Amino acid sequence: MQSSSPLPPLQAHLHSLQAYAQAHHALLGLRAQKQLDVEILTEYLSSVVLERDRLAALVELGGGSGSHAGGVGPPVGVGAWARERIEKIRGKDDVHSRRVRMGVLDGKIAEVRPMLHLEREGHR
């Protein structure tokens, strides 16, 4: 077999088509990953905004901890309910701790929104 001779035209064309297909496959993989990143960031942002809005509603209502017995305000999950019960047992101020958590959530929202915007712009 001669290694110094050029490839036949058909074989060279097939090699170039194969390289093109591999590059295109890699590009599609990157696009799919970017789409997943955008979806994950959007879902995370939605959950953080929802939690912040829930806390804001509870602060505005003056306290009640959700839909459990005697509570006022939007329903809360088991984790939020348990956290509120533990804070109540520790004697923490409900409204103050909610405002602190809202501040933390506002910081997360301010951090994620620009990242999401950049991902969406880069996606186009």
- pLDDT category of residue 121 using cuts at 50, 70 and 90: confident
| 7 within domain boundaries | no
| 27 within domain boundaries | no
Q: What is the pLDDT of residues 3-46, one digit of tens each?
A: 556 778 899 899 999 999 999 999 999 999 989 989 999 999 99
| 9 within domain boundaries | no
| 66 within domain boundaries | yes
pTM of the full predicted structure? 0.61
Residue from 40, 34, 47, 62 nearest 123 by CA: 34
Number of domains in the chain: 1
pLDDT of residue 96: 82
Residue 123 has pLDDT above 70, yes or no: no
Task: Determine the average pLDDT of the residues in 69-96.
Answer: 70
Range of the domain at 115: 35-123
Task: Determine the average pLDDT of the residues in 72-81.
Answer: 65
| 80 within domain boundaries | yes
pLDDT of residue 47: 93
Structure tokens at 116: 């999401």
Residue from 99, 115, 102, 121 nearest 44 by CA: 115
